[in-house]
Amino acid sequence: MRTPIIAGNWKLNKTVDEALALAKDLKGQLSDLTDVEIIIAPPFTALAPLASTLTDSPIVLAGQNCFPSEGAYTGEISPALLRDVGCRAVIIGHSERRQLFAEQDDFINQKVKAALATGLKVIFCIGETLTERNENRTFEVLEKQIRMGMSGLDSAAMTRLTVAYEPIWAIGTGQTASNEQAQEAHHFIRGLLSQLFDVSTAEATRILYGGSVKPDNIDGLMHQADIDGALVGGASLKACDFIRIARYKRC
């Protein structure tokens, strides 16, 4: 069985003090959860302080982004430096990176490969715009993002990659995909993974849903056969909401 993942993407929020307070709350209230992996991705400035706070905690620290090389790249962060500061995972290909910073699939693929080569786990984000969905192009878009962004990976690499399906129209809008819409996309993604790799790799890969996940919709989403967890933005900024999401109702 796939162990679920609940991941919080704090984006560009939280001072170091605020981040420490939230992380301490989560550590105190989630450390007994043994059947769910918890990941948090704070802003870069909070990574080092949080790494100390989360020592002896099962909560995994993740970067929100990385650059595929090291050296003369002002303002960027490498997978090796993320590891050095205590990260064990990184989010790559988030729609905000794709849309606001014009990141293309081939560049995202370089990042995925660099992060995996450094030993980080990768949360690889994909998702369609509302226009693409309305034009019935959702599967076509997801397939292109997966084929290009995951190009060159083998089954061994896939043991450290988690896919996050995040329909762009649902991110930060309060308009979550319905359970059926999310399940349909996840089922498609798993089918594609079994074509690109093999059935056992596809069955073992965690596929997270992201897009306005809240305490009041997580239970239904987690009830779907191919939804293995959530990537949570806004609701990960409040301890009580994120804790409720991590403690979703099992059936």
Distance CA 63, CA 120 (A): 10
User: Which of 96, 103, 132, 166 does the annotation list as catalytic?
Assistant: 166
| Phi and psi based region of residue 46 (left: phi greater than 0; alpha: psi -120 to 50; beta: remaining) | alpha
x/- letters, 21..60, toward ligand PEP (CB under 6 A): ----------------------------------------
| β-sheet bridge partners, residue 163 | 124, 207
DSSP state for residue 103 in the 8-state scheme: -
x/- letters, 174..213, toward ligand PEP (CB under 6 A): ------------------------------------xxxx
Distance CA 215, CA 163 (A): 22
Of 59 and 170, the one with the shorter C-beta distance to ligand PEP is 170
Asked whether position 234 contacts ligand PEP by CB under 6 A, the answer is: yes
Tell me the one-letter amino acid at 216.
D
The token pair that represents 48 in the structure block: 């080092």
Asked whether position 243 contacts ligand PEP by CB under 6 A, the answer is: no
In the complex, the smallest distance separating the C-beta of residue 176 from ligand PEP, rounded to whole angstroms, is 8
Of 87 and 197, the one with the shorter C-beta distance to ligand PEP is 87
DSSP state for residue 91 in the 8-state scheme: E
Backbone angles phi, psi at 180, to 5 degrees: -70, -40
Active site residue 94: yes
In the complex, the smallest distance separating the C-beta of residue 192 from ligand PEP, rounded to whole angstroms, is 21
The footprint of ligand PEP on residues 129-168 (CB under 6 A) is 166
Asked whether position 172 contacts ligand PEP by CB under 6 A, the answer is: yes
Asked whether position 232 contacts ligand PEP by CB under 6 A, the answer is: yes
| β-sheet bridge partners, residue 38 | 6
* Closest to 68 measured CA to CA, from 102, 103, 38, 43: 103
Site of interaction with ligand PEP (CB under 6 A): 9, 166, 171-172, 210-213, 231-235
